[in-house]
Structure 1
Amino acid sequence: MTSRRTSSLLMPIAMFGVATFFYLYEFLVRVSPNVLENELILAFNLDAKMFGFFSSCWYWAYAPLQLPVGALTDKYGPRRLLTFAILLCSASTLSLAYTTSFYLGCLMRFFIGAGSAFAFISCMKIVHIWFDHHLFPLMTGLTLTIGTLGAAAGGIPLSLALDFMNWRQVLIYLGFAGMVLAFLAFALIKDHNPNHAEVSMKKEDTPGFWRCLIEVMKQPQSWLVGIYCFFVTAPTDAFGGTWGVKFLVDTHGISRDVASTAAVTMTFIGMAVGSPILGWISSVFDNRKVPMMISSLIAALALTLIVFLPQLNGFWACVLFFLFGSSGTYVLAFVMTRRFSQPIYVGTAVGFVNMVSMFGSAILTYMIGWLLDAVSSGALSSEGERIYTVSNYHLSLVVLPLFYAISALVIVPLIRDQKD
Structure 2
Amino acid sequence: MSPNHLSPPPLRMSFIIWGLAAAFYLFGFFQRVTPGVLTEELSTTFDLSRAALGNLSAFYFYFYAAMQIPVGLLVDRIGPRKILTAGCMLGGMGALMFGFAPTLGWAAVGRGLVGGSVAVAWVSMLMLVAQWFSPARFASMSGVSLAVGTMGAVLAGVPLRALSDLFGWRMVMGASGMIAVALGLLIWIYVRDMPSQRGYKNHVAKRPANEVTLPLLTALGHTLRFPAVWLIFWIPSGVCGAILTFTGLWGVPYLTTWHGLSVKEASLIITGMLIAFAAGSLFFGALSDKLKQRKLPYFIGAVLSISGFIILGIQPELPISLVSVLLWITAFGGGSMVLSFGYVKESVPHHLGATAVGIVNLGVMVGPLVQQPVLGAILDHYAAVENITGAYSKAGMTVCMLVLAVWVGSSIVSLMLSRETHAKPRFA
Partner of 1:316 in structure 2? 322
Partner of residue 413 from structure 1, selected from 409, 412, 416: 416
SS for the counterpart of 1:340 is coil
Measure how far apart 1:153 and its partner are: 1.6
Q: Is the 8 A contact 1:58 1:113 kept in 2?
A: yes
The runs of 5 or more residues in structure 1 that have no matched partner are none
Let me know the Cα RMSD of the aligned residues. Answer: 2.1
Q: Is the 8 A contact 1:75 1:201 kept in 2?
A: no
d(CA) in 2 for partners of 1:27, 1:344: 28
Measure how far apart 1:207 and its partner are: 3.4
Measure how far apart 1:94 and its partner are: 0.7
d(CA) in 2 for partners of 1:201, 1:142: 27
What CA deviation, in whole Å up to 9, does each residue of 1:291-327 have, x standing for no partner? 2222212111112334454445554343222211110
Matches within 5 A, 1:201-350: 205=211, 206-263=213-270, 265-312=271-318, 314-328=320-334, 329-350=336-357
Change (3 A) 1:212 1:248: same
Partner of residue 111 from structure 2, selected from 109, 112, 119: 109
Measure how far apart 1:355 and its partner are: 1.1
What CA deviation, in whole Å up to 9, does each residue of 1:5-33 have, x standing for no partner? 79723322111000011111110111000
Partner of 1:403 in structure 2? 407
d(CA) in 2 for partners of 1:200, 1:165: 49
d(CA) in 2 for partners of 1:235, 1:298: 13
Change (3 A) 1:181 1:204: farther
Identity in percent = 28
Partner of 1:371 in structure 2? 378
What CA deviation, in whole Å up to 9, does each residue of 1:101-123 have, x standing for no partner? 11221111111100111010011
Amino acid at match of 1:296: A
Q: Is the 8 A contact 1:378 1:387 kept in 2?
A: no
The runs of 5 or more residues in structure 2 that have no matched partner are 1-5
d(CA) in 1 for partners of 2:97, 2:207: 34
Partner of 1:358 in structure 2? 365
d(CA) in 2 for partners of 1:7, 1:73: 21
What CA deviation, in whole Å up to 9, does each residue of 1:212-266 have, x standing for no partner? 2122101100000001122222201110111101111122110111111112x11
Change (3 A) 1:5 1:395: same
Q: Is the 8 A contact 2:235 2:363 kept in 1?
A: no
Measure how far apart 1:275 and its partner are: 0.7
Q: Is the 8 A contact 2:233 2:359 kept in 1?
A: yes
Change (3 A) 1:22 1:37: same
Partner of 2:174 in structure 1? 172
TM-score by length of 1: 0.93
Amino acid at match of 2:15: I
Measure how far apart 1:288 and its partner are: 2.0
1:392 and 2:396 are equivalent in the alignment:
yes
Partner of 2:3 in structure 1? none
SS for the counterpart of 2:77 is helix
Q: Is the 8 A contact 2:8 2:202 kept in 1?
A: no
Number of residue pairs the alignment of both structures matches:
412
d(CA) in 2 for partners of 1:16, 1:225: 25
Change (3 A) 1:34 1:59: same
d(CA) in 2 for partners of 1:349, 1:43: 40
